[in-house]
Amino acid sequence: MSTSFTLAQVAAWVDGTVRGSADTRIAGVSGIEDAGPDEITWLADASYFPRLSKSRAGAVLVPSDCGPTPMSAILCKRPSVAVIAVFERFAPPVPSPPPGVHPTACVAESARLGKDVAVGPHVVIGERAIIGERTILDANVFVGDDTTIGADCRLWPGVVVRERCELGDRVILHANTTIGADGFGYEFVDGRHVKIPQIGTVIIEADVEIGSGCSVDRAKFGATRIGAGTKIDNLVQVAHNVRIGPGCILISQCGIAGSARLGRGVVLGGKVGIGDHVELGNGVQVAACSCVSKNFPAGTRAVGLPAVDHETWIRERSKIRRLPQMAEQLKDLTRRVDRLESTADH
């Protein structure tokens, strides 16, 4: 039987105020168009307000200054934040291996596992590896020799963390992500590519989350580093010796070339490419599909291929939009010049 709560209870979770029937029972949460009479929805932006008139939702989370709504409402400070607490209450339990080591796992005798560590089926943990308390390693995770993983981490199925890497507390690595693969380093010698040994490591600080199918390469020397609280979407490539500051956001399919530096709070849109040794200052924002080949100072908004600051891009685009008109003007001027220079009009 599904669990339901009154609006009064929901309002207490989000520090909100009920407008309408506080006894209305809520059994789930969904979007404005999909919510049913026993579900609550939320108004993330004022532009969605007209959609409420067609919604079947039993209740809605709205800003404190929101006007009348077709259904009961909970007035709160920031609905998009408040709804997180609602999702947490209604989220189904996530399957996890129980604390302990599954019989099919292979754990080196020299490895050290903290209290309540969960090791799932077919996990491999190398020599002298250290796993922090309450960390969960799902099926088929590989942890290399001399690697340290902090407390309360979650490594989903198929994650690989190679030798000598370091993960801080509360790091989440989603399925099939690889940490510590060799950096892409070769020297062309006598007609062939000679591999450069990649002897460095990867350091991932606390509260980092990395999506599925990502690769963070080990450094040629020293460390590739990802700062605390940074969040990385799926299918992102971080090359050797890259340093990413704390609190950054990297959207899907970004590629960051070797030795690039990202400051605090940098945001990269989807499919952004960052050239090698490029440095982005704190708070730089790069629009999707841009290619960054030069440094940008703190606070810059960059866009384009190659990327330029947003103001320059706007000026360039305005001129480009005028090119067809300017081409016709040029043709007309050319015809006038031809007539003026012709023998008949001399």
Q: Where are the domains of the chain?
A: 5-90, 100-311
Active site residues: 240
pLDDT band for position 320 (50/70/90)? confident
pLDDT digits (tens, 9 = 90+) for 217-274: 999 999 999 999 999 999 999 999 999 999 999 999 999 999 999 999 999 999 999 9
Domain 5-90 has CATH 3.40.1390.10: yes
Return the CATH architecture of domain 100-311: 3 Solenoid (2.160)
Three-class secondary structure assignment of the chain: CCCCEEHHHHHHHHCCEEECCCCCEECEECCCCCCCCCEEEECCCHHHHHHHHHCCCCEEEEECCCCCCCCEEEEECCHHHHHHHHHHHHCCCCCCCCCEECCCCEECCCCEECCCCEECCCCEECCCCEECCCCEECCCCEECCCCEECCCCEECCCCEECCCCEECCCCEECCCCEEEECCCCEEEECCEEEECCCCCEEEECCCCEECCCCEEECCCCCEEEECCCCEECCCCEECCCCEECCCCEECCCCEECCCCEECCCCEECCCCEECCCCEECCCCEECCCCEECCCECCCCEEEECCEEEHHHHHHHHHHHHCHHHHHHHHHHHHHHHHHHHCCCCC
Per-chain mean pLDDT for the chain: 95
Q: What is the pLDDT of residue 1?
A: 42
- Claim: this prediction has a pTM higher than 0.75: yes
pLDDT digits (tens, 9 = 90+) for 164-212: 999 999 999 999 999 999 999 999 999 999 999 999 999 999 999 999 9
- High-pLDDT (> 70) share of the chain, %: 98
Q: What is the pLDDT of residue 313?
A: 85
* Mean pLDDT, range 126-140, rounded to an integer: 98
pLDDT band for position 335 (50/70/90)? confident
